[in-house]
């Protein structure tokens, strides 16, 4: 079946990128998605910040912005699925065109701008799905918000009890000023308010909270981010998001478009930044690696650089859903070939 879905992905590339994505979501809501084997190789199981995962290979935020198809993507083989980014109020995002395939580079540039249907629609879908598999909510702030930290608190409050973990997305380059929340003073204010809200909410149940940072952070910013995360009880860091940088060897005619670059060209940069976070964290906070993953070798490199789990999205545009079982099988084989009995055994081994 995965071969058929790979052919469908190939056909979709003849369409406008955003139209193709919309049709993909509609197909998945109609039950046309792939179905992977129910069980994963035990070597891929892991735990990150209190989140127990059957497989360390997850779907990154951005694919399912409105929580329409989390179960379809779990059935496709992902060990966990992150929906969003969702903002308190519905917003249209930036003007079109705003999504570009860089096919020769196996990359994507987007400047979508948190286009989504808002928290109410998101919460309604999550509450009606039952609780099968691990599904997270990636929350953000509205573009015109006068209290961005308050938007994150609102997202946490509205979705509490409807998902398995939360990711605070402060690293999208497509909402002006959002990345300023990564600065120490602003980050402490945000995480302090989140911690206060969490303390009230966790009377009945608690959920892991993750922070998603950009791959463009300077080295001097890494330790302050880690210190804030540890101080305020954030359970893990996701490193990272799309990049505003542009490698000199990009070939696509779309390479100069504004927005965040993802896909293959991001692999090296994001892995280097992941390594620096791992070394600076020194075991104080676990990491999830994102950016440029398109194979088992890529996923293994992230794990060896310090990731307890990984997420991908852009590679599906070029490889189709058949990539998921292939990548997991390859990653499992690489772990076993190196003598590792689990993902956790391999984490950070590139630094030893």
| Report field, pTM of the whole predicted structure over 0.75 | yes
Contact 215, 269 (CB under 8 A): yes
Q: Is 150 exposed, middle or buried (0-12, 13-18, 19+ CB in 10 A)?
A: middle
Tell whether the model's pLDDT for residue 188 goes beyond 80.
yes
More confident residue, 7 or 160: 160
Q: CA–CA separation, 337 vs 277, rounded Å?
A: 27
More confident residue, 154 or 39: 154
* pLDDT, tens digit, 9 for 90 and up, residues 214-262: 999 999 999 999 999 999 999 999 999 999 999 999 999 999 999 999 9
149-162 mean pLDDT: 98
pLDDT tens digits along 130-146: 778 999 999 999 999 99
Q: Which two tokens stand for residue 289?
A: 């690696």
- Name the catalytic one among 55, 171, 172, 270: 172
Q: Using CA atoms, how far apart are residues 307 and 258, in angstroms rounded to an integer?
A: 29
Please say whether the beta carbons of 198 and 210 come within 8 A: no
Predicted confidence (pLDDT) at residue 321 exceeds the cutoff of 90 = yes
- Looking at 3.30.70.20, 3.20.20.70, 3.40.50.720, 3.40.50.620, the CATH number of the domain 2-351 comes to 3.20.20.70
Domain map of the chain by residue range? 2-351
The contacts of residue 261 (CB under 8 Å, 6+ apart) are 102, 107, 108, 109, 242, 243, 244, 245, 246
| Mean of the per-residue pLDDT values of the chain | 95
What b-and-e string marks burial along 226-253, b requiring 16 or more CB atoms within 10 Å of the CB?
bbbbeebebbbbbbbbbbeeeeeebebe
Q: What is the mean pLDDT of residues 58-68?
A: 98
Compute the distance between CA of residue 170 and CA of residue 182 in angstroms, rounded to an integer.
7
* Whole-number Å distance between alpha carbons of 331 and 295: 8
Per-residue model confidence (pLDDT) at position 73: 97
By residue count, the chain amounts to 352
In this model, does residue 6 exceed pLDDT 80?
A: no
User: Can 172 be counted among the known catalytic residues?
Assistant: yes
């Amino acid at each position: 079946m995965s071969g058929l879905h790979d052919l469908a992905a190939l056909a979709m590339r003849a369409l406008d990128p955003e139209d193709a994505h919309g049709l993909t979501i509609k197909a998945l809501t109609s039950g046309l998605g792939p179905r992977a084997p129910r069980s994963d190789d035990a070597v891929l199981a892991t735990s990150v910040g209190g989140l127990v995962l059957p497989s360390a290979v997850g779907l990154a935020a951005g694919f399912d912005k409105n929580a329409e198809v989390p179960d379809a993507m779990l059935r496709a083989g992902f060990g966990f699925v992150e929906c969003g980014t969702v903002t308190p109020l519905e917003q249209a995002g930036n003007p079109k065109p705003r999504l570009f395939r860089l096919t020769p580079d196996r990359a994507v540039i987007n400047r979508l701008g948190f286009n989504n249907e808002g928290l109410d629609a998101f919460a309604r879908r999550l509450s009606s799905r039952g609780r099968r598999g691990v599904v997270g909510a990636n929350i953000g702030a509205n573009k015109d918000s006068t209290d961005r930290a308050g938007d994150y608190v609102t997202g946490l409050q509205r979705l509490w009890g409807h998902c398995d973990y939360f990711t605070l997305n402060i690293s999208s380059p497509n909402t002006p000023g959002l990345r300023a929340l990564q600065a120490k003073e602003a980050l402490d204010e945000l995480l302090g308010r989140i911690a206060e809200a969490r303390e009230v909410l966790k009377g009945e149940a608690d959920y892991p909270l993750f922070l998603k940072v950009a791959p463009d952070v300077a080295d001097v910013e890494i330790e302050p981010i880690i210190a804030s995360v540890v101080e305020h009880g954030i359970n893990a860091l996701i490193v990272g998001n799309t990049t505003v940088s542009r490698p000199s060897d990009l070939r696509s005619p779309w390479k100069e478009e504004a927005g965040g670059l993802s896909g293959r060209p991001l692999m090296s940069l994001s892995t280097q930044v992941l390594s620096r976070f791992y070394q600076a964290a020194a075991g104080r906070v676990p990491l999830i690696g994102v950016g440029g993953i398109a194979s088992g070798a890529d996923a293994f490199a992230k794990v060896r650089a310090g990731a307890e789990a990984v997420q991908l999205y852009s590679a599906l545009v070029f490889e189709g859903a058949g990539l998921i079982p292939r990548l997991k099988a390859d990653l499992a084989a690489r772990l076993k070939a190196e003598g590792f009995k689990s993902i956790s055994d391999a984490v950070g081994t590139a630094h030893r």
